[in-house]
A and B are shown apart, each in its own frame.
Chain A
Amino acid sequence: MNIQFLKELAATNQWHWILPEIILALLGVSVLLMDLFFRGDKDKKIAIVSIGAQFLVLFYFINNFSFMNSPDTVYAFSDMLKQNAFGNWCRVFFIICSILVSSLGVLYLKKNKLPSTEFYSLVLIATASLMIMVQSSHLLLLFITLETATVAFYVLISYGRNSSLSLEAGLKYLILGGTSSAILMLGIVLLYGVAGNPSMTGYSTDSMNFKELGHFISLNQGSSLLIAGVLLVIAGFCFKIAVVPFQIWVPDVYQGAPTPIAAFLGVASKASGFFVLINLLTGPFVHLKEILVPFLSVIAIGSILFGNIAAVTQRNVKRLMGLSGVAHAGYLMIGLVASFSVETHYIIYFYLLTYLLASFSVFGVMCSVSELDARQELEDYEDLAKSNTFLGFILIVGLGSLAGIPPLAGFIAKLLLFITAIKVKLYLLVAVAVIGVVISIYYYFGWIREATFRIFRIEDENNKHVSKDYESDLSAYHKILFGFVAILSIVFGLFQTVFRGFIW
């Protein structure tokens, strides 16, 4: 190893490619410092700084729109980081997500009288690491960024320190998350060991790199240790995206976690798992089609059926959102299965984007309505639409989009996904998914019915339930934000021409 080699290596450390992540991570650390220096209405000032800076990062991406559509791929940091148009779209996704989570956090923290600085700090750091994770092209970087985000999630889920439910949810996520990262690690190490073995054909000295790993897998498709490693890595990510049989934590953790964090977990964590899986399945694992297609199909069918059937009986809306999220992960798995035959990156992206808009509409209403965080029963939403039309409208748009009702974006996303699946002849999966959608309409509309038609409820003698008052004290910022998110759900349902450039 000579000095020239090291120089070449150092030249690939092009920090400007990850400028947004650096800004977010530095901001995440510096809000902790600002906490010491700010006087007066500290919570408000810190919220303004952190949300404002996230908007600036979002504008940075909008400003550099051309580099989000450029067809070329950049490798930086000794091929650890792979940047292309899809990666940039994923980064925008996480920025939007973290803006919304922070904005919901403002509502939640004020209502529950919790310290706010650490909340924004951890959300920013988790976002930065998720943004790097979707661009990583090396198993080491993938593992480290995944763990950074996961450790931040452990703290965020148990953020309601005064509530034993929040702590219990944190503990459950911690135990299962720790187990899943150990399983992921085992998979990574098996891949590293097998692909680096000098006695195998096509072995590599940098066997954790996706390119080298892909080359090795294409030459040794029959090695059983290799297949075990691939399956373990996929299993580790299946925990992230919460699909059967790794979904057991979902209802409890969603119920106990603070509402904004349940949204963060349901959208950003799930999306990051899918973005990484699509990168893996179309990158290094692409040659294992024969083994992975049945494996992923079984997972997809299991998740669609389990998620939808289990959600039917739920009375707690947070558990309901969690279990319906399992079903949505099942639909997205169809996209992953199809990715072996046809390009589905942007269909999965579009589906997740509509899922983000719809979920945050619903979780926004949940944050505005709820008094007690872990006791979000369906009954709490009785008559919402009549006493607060604005929130009722947002809830109906969000739930309708999740259920896939035609004028809304969720319908188009499902349609695109199913059309793609039919094109590559995955008829069984589409049939199961359609059955799942039908079941899901039952429980989503049960919630809408609860919010709109009081008339169907048998009232008790003293009309205790009826005198609900949903006077929420939403600020103008939140009203505009929620309204905008709901409107986007409608707009994307009617006009997808914005996306034509890259979906079709």
Chain B
Amino acid sequence: MSVGLNHYLVVSGMLFAIGFFGVLLRKNVIFIFMCIELMLTAVNVMLIAFSKFNGVGDGLIFVFFTITVAAAEVAIGLAIIVALYKKRQTIMVDEINQLKN
């Protein structure tokens, strides 16, 4: 059996779903953050597969941009999480609830 476009799409779709539901259901900020990265990775897999099977290379270039964006997001995200941990001594989202009416 040869691996076709649909196989890639199913795998990346599943990865995206795992990431999305992880963001919704997880309580630990680090896990939530990893789930966001998982979603971006799933999109990258999809991009490469489309690029390969459509026979155009610009999708591969797009992947570089996505990775850069994800890296920038991680750098800033971890900085915010560390600063918040120093203030609050917790990274569980249900304890980060000082903002309310």
A binding-site residues for B, Cβ under 8 Å: 140, 143-144, 147, 151, 154-155, 158, 161, 164-165, 167-172, 174-175, 178-179, 181-183, 185-186, 189-190, 192-193, 196-198, 203, 205-208, 251-252, 255-256, 313-316, 319, 374
The complex places the Cα of A175 from the Cα of B19 at a distance, in Å, of: 12
Give A151 Cβ to nearest chain B Cβ, in Å: 5
Within B35-58, the residues touching A (CB, 8 Å) are 36, 39-40, 42-43, 46-47, 49-50, 53-56, 58
Residues of B within 8 A of A182 (CB): 16, 19-20, 36, 39-40, 43
Give B96 Cβ to nearest chain A Cβ, in Å: 5
Residues of A within 8 A of B36 (CB): 175, 178-179, 182
**CB closest chain-A residue, reference B91:** A171
A193 and B54 contacting across the interface, CB-CB below 8 Å: yes
Q: Given that A168-B96, A171-B96 are known contacts, is A143 also in contact with B40, CB under 8 Å in the complex?
A: no
Residues of B within 8 A of A140 (CB): 58, 61-62, 65
Other than the given A175-B32, A182-B16, A192-B59, 9 more pairs (CB < 8 A) read A140-B65, A158-B80, A171-B81, A189-B46, A190-B46, A192-B50, A192-B62, A193-B46, A252-B99
Residues of A within 8 A of B96 (CB): 168, 171
Q: List 11 A-B contacts (CB under 8 A).
A: A154-B73, A155-B76, A167-B80, A167-B84, A168-B96, A171-B29, A178-B73, A182-B19, A192-B50, A197-B53, A203-B54
Smallest CB-CB A-B distances: 9 pairs? A193-B50, A182-B39, A178-B36, A196-B54, A164-B87, A252-B99, A167-B84, A185-B43, A147-B69
Residues of A within 8 A of B88 (CB): 164, 168
For chain B, give the interface size range. Answer: 35 or more
B101 and A154 contacting across the interface, CB-CB below 8 Å: no
The complex places the Cα of A182 from the Cα of B76 at a distance, in Å, of: 16
- Which one of B29, B50, B56, B65 lies within 8 Å of A143 (CB-CB)? B65
Give B65 Cβ to nearest chain A Cβ, in Å: 6
Within B80-101, the residues touching A (CB, 8 Å) are 80-81, 83-84, 87-88, 96, 98-101
A205 and B80 contacting across the interface, CB-CB below 8 Å: no
Give B46 Cβ to nearest chain A Cβ, in Å: 5
B69 and A196 contacting across the interface, CB-CB below 8 Å: no
Q: Given that A147-B69, A154-B77, A189-B50 are known contacts, is A196 also in contact with B84, CB under 8 Å in the complex?
A: no
A158 and B59 contacting across the interface, CB-CB below 8 Å: no
Residues of A within 8 A of B42 (CB): 186
A167 and B87 contacting across the interface, CB-CB below 8 Å: yes
Q: Given that A154-B76, A174-B76, A185-B66 are known contacts, is A168 also in contact with B23, CB under 8 Å in the complex?
A: no
B33 and A175 contacting across the interface, CB-CB below 8 Å: yes
Give B66 Cβ to nearest chain A Cβ, in Å: 6
Residues of B within 8 A of A319 (CB): 101
Residues of A within 8 A of B84 (CB): 164, 167-168, 171
B72 on the interface (CB 8 Å rule)? Answer: yes
Most buried by B among A182, A185, A197, A208: A182
- Which one of B16, B33, B53, B65 lies within 8 Å of A144 (CB-CB)? B65
Most buried by B among A164, A178, A206, A208: A178
Most buried by A among B40, B42, B98: B98
Residues of A within 8 A of B53 (CB): 197
A315 and B72 contacting across the interface, CB-CB below 8 Å: no
**CB closest chain-A residue, reference B56:** A205
Give B73 Cβ to nearest chain A Cβ, in Å: 6
B76 and A255 contacting across the interface, CB-CB below 8 Å: no
The complex places the Cα of A277 from the Cα of B57 at a distance, in Å, of: 27
Q: Given that A171-B80, A181-B69 are known contacts, is A192 also in contact with B47, CB under 8 Å in the complex?
A: yes
Most buried by B among A147, A185, A197, A316: A185
Residues of A within 8 A of B77 (CB): 154, 171, 174, 178
**CB closest chain-B residue, reference A150:** B73
A168 and B99 contacting across the interface, CB-CB below 8 Å: yes
The complex places the Cα of A198 from the Cα of B49 at a distance, in Å, of: 14
B54 and A158 contacting across the interface, CB-CB below 8 Å: no
The complex places the Cα of A206 from the Cα of B54 at a distance, in Å, of: 11
The complex places the Cα of A178 from the Cα of B69 at a distance, in Å, of: 10
Residues of B within 8 A of A185 (CB): 39-40, 43, 66
B56 and A196 contacting across the interface, CB-CB below 8 Å: yes
A144 and B69 contacting across the interface, CB-CB below 8 Å: yes
B40 and A168 contacting across the interface, CB-CB below 8 Å: no
**CB closest chain-A residue, reference B63:** A189
The complex places the Cα of A252 from the Cα of B98 at a distance, in Å, of: 9
Most buried by B among A165, A186, A374: A186
A198 and B58 contacting across the interface, CB-CB below 8 Å: no
- Which one of B16, B50, B76, B101 lies within 8 Å of A314 (CB-CB)? B101
Residues of A within 8 A of B47 (CB): 189, 192-193
The complex places the Cα of A165 from the Cα of B73 at a distance, in Å, of: 20
**CB closest chain-B residue, reference A151:** B72
Q: Given that A171-B29, A196-B54 are known contacts, is A189 also in contact with B99, CB under 8 Å in the complex?
A: no
The complex places the Cα of A49 from the Cα of B68 at a distance, in Å, of: 31
**CB closest chain-B residue, reference A170:** B80
- Which one of B81, B83, B99 lies within 8 Å of A169 (CB-CB)? B99
B16 and A186 contacting across the interface, CB-CB below 8 Å: yes
- Which one of B23, B43, B55, B101 lies within 8 Å of A189 (CB-CB)? B43
Most buried by A among B39, B42, B50, B99: B99
A256 and B99 contacting across the interface, CB-CB below 8 Å: yes
**CB closest chain-B residue, reference A140:** B62
Give B35 Cβ to nearest chain A Cβ, in Å: 9
